[in-house]
Amino acid sequence: MAAKVEIYTWSTCPFCLRAKSLLTRKGVDFIEYTIDGDEVARNQMAERANGKRSLPQIFIDNVHIGGCDDIYALDAKGSLDNLLS
């Protein structure tokens, strides 16, 4: 069973595009919440992300993974595939 992957983004954010690109290359289906300028949605994201307001914020099976650099670091260590399966 595949993991549930959620990502909060802004549509023009280069880090968001890079993180989504990694997930797409891995063939991962993900739920994207595009929150451009929506402070209510950003506050909800921050509540889930332990106060972090930067974008993207990524969750795998409701566990906060972090942002773009964090997901790439997990991939470099070989840990991301285990989380996604």
Q: Is residue 1 scored above 90 in pLDDT?
A: no
State the SS3 of 51-62: CCCCCCEEEECC
DSSP state of 50: T
What pLDDT shows up at residue 46? 97
Sorted by where each starts, the structural domains of the chain and their CATH numbers stand as 5-84 (3.40.30.10)
What pLDDT shows up at residue 2? 86
Per residue in 27-80, pLDDT (tens digit) is 999 999 999 999 999 999 999 999 999 999 999 999 999 999 999 999 999 999
Tell me whether strands 31-34 and 57-60 are parallel, antiparallel or unpaired. unpaired
Give this prediction's pTM: 0.94
